Chains A and B, each alone.
Chain A
Amino acid sequence: MILRIARKEMTEMFRDGRFRVSGAILFTLLAGALLLGWQNYKEVRAQHDVAQKSTRDQWLHQGRKNPHSAAHYGVYAFKPKSPLSLVDQGTDPYTGIAVWLEAHKQNEFRYRPAQDATAVQRFGELTGATVLQLLVPLLIVLLTFNAFAGERELGTLRQLLSLGVRQTDLAAGKALGVAGALALLLIPAAVFGAAAMTGASGYDAMTSAIPRTAWLALSYLLYFGAFLGISLTVSALVKSSRAALTVLLGFWMFNGLIAPRAASDIARAVRPTPSAFEFGHKLEMALASGADGADPTDGRVARLKADLLLKYNVDKVEALPVNFNGIRLQDGENHGNIVFDKAYAALWETFSQQDAVHRALGMIAPGLTVRSLSMGFAGSDFPHHAHFAIVAENYRRMIQRTLNEDMILNAGNTSPYLADDSLWNKVPPFLYTAPATSWVVARQTPALGIMAGWFVIAMLAAAWSSRRLKAL
């Protein structure tokens, strides 16, 4: 019976201009968004490959120079785009894709993290995620607002209930009908997306992205199911289809348009982030005065010098068997590392707390939860950015250590020292591997729980409200 109801619902939908027009628009937008995402991914990936090779070549062929000059010459680390970013670019447009790795500084990405805190929750351009998060739910609303209210108005509900049709069967059939119609739109789009992903990133990258893709698909299926359940519930409870449409459009606007902005403001109010200027100023102050606000650089250098002279039992720097500048520079790096670790840990902890606020607010707006899941499994959320930033920073620290150690051992203290390509070659190329799917799943478990909760509650509500359906 449920399948028969579903089949009839689909037949009616396909014969109704409402579905044909809205479905065609949605499919075009989704395909267009995926196409744009594919182009963007392909371009950025090509630029990334060229730039990464170029920066490596420049590093290797920078010629003879002092290692510390090379440390300031620096290298770029380019953040690779996840293949699934063609579906959801997430925070990528706001967090930047490259970081300059040089001596003394843990540089911020092109867009400063302190500014990025608000951009994390901002809407971007038209992407597959926008279509999936905003427009598919709108289509679900348009297809289901009169599922029961319309039957009641038309009088067919009396006809159906007089036949002895179970209301829950009716609800299940209608849900399945809408799901089937959506599947006919979304499955071709998914196939198109998979083909685009394969074309842009290669077969291997595509196959390795399958687990993340499966989780992404599950997240969206739960989201669509939740919207379907909510729509059926409202349609069963309210008296008229007009009232059902009003209520559901109100919820859709709240969920997709109001809640994300409100959540950002609430998160910032509850867990404020420093401005870019404030963050930079605090870093400068800490670097100058020490991580704990004491221990000025001059005093530290003087102590370091004294300790070295004592250790090697000499009376002047020139008599040291190791290069003092190299030791001083590495000591400065060590000091800076403590400062950076403390400052960025605090900043990222604030972002993490803001994420927690978002996650909590996802209990009243499922759109917030699915955004988090979508960006997470697409590999374009802030935790992925932070993961890359940590790997890049560790690479920067390794470069500085390699260069400073070379100076310490080889530069002496009496004449200028120049290193050659053999030193630059000791620095391995920058390689980055995105975190495993299990890492994402572990981070997204609370959001997955909330999304599953929405789905279950919405479906139970639909079943409960359908049981209360009256012919009159």
Chain B
Amino acid sequence: MSTGSNLFAEPGLQQITVWARGVVMNKDARDIVVALAEAAAREGKYVQAWENYVDLPDRVYVPVRAYARISTDPIESKYIYENETPDIIILVEETLVKGVPVLRGLRKGGVLVVNTRRSPEEILSFLGDTGNLETLVTVDASSLSTAVTTLSGAEGATDATGIGAGIAAPLAGAVVKATGIVSLENLAAVVKNPEAMRRGYELARVTRLETKGAAQEVAVSAGELLKQLPFAGTVPSPVSENEGMVTGNWRMQRPVLDQEACTSCDTCWIYCPDSCITRTDEGPTFNLKYCKGCGICEEVCPSGAISLVPELNFKD
């Protein structure tokens, strides 16, 4: 059952959705929602912060979501599992603009914050129809701090590292600049690296866009996904690819072959965990629909014929 937007029709409610890459940036995604929620709580707001269970257990590089809700009034929709109609969307890593439906369900006047060194124009070129998006914020948070890769605090484990020591702090600062959702002082009191948070606030580049007015499609809810699942029983085997789990949008870097240097030794082919390399007379070809960009092929190549290139350098 689609919950639609009515269940979120609470005048004082703001929904925040953070997208990140599993394992390597999961902690930073969690820290952003926790930091913003705790800062808002200091201002007497009603808050929630949690991870999207559908994305767990998180796998290395899989797109994952963390959520926050901040409201002036008691949150009536607190048992609604996902933020289906977010007001603010934050991307901890820039390639999430490509092939991941990050703007789904975005409400009118929506804000998108992207951790990137690239220009707003370049980021927009990957987003296509931006619908309700009104504000784009770009900030090079990775230059201000380092992502905290830890399992501490993951999936119920005790968090021994504190909140906002990594790139979460400057990204939360950028959110405040564009939205004023909490005060800088309260955010500074919560995060472990307030200096990086303030730098993120200062360096964030805010671009106002003309909204297209077209409401974005509401994200498929967990309840709907559950209905589509077969309950036990059998499913057909795939023929050559498993269309039910397309993983090309996990990739931050793309393998590129230098045909001159390739000796067709097949080493990359045998070591690919995702069966994404086909050996041909002209050397390996990569199945980019599924390649997760792990980089094993580049690492094991004995002749240095494979290099990894940032995914956003490619338009396709």
Binding partners A and B: no
Interface residues of A (CB under 8 A from B): none
Interface residues of B (CB under 8 A from A): none
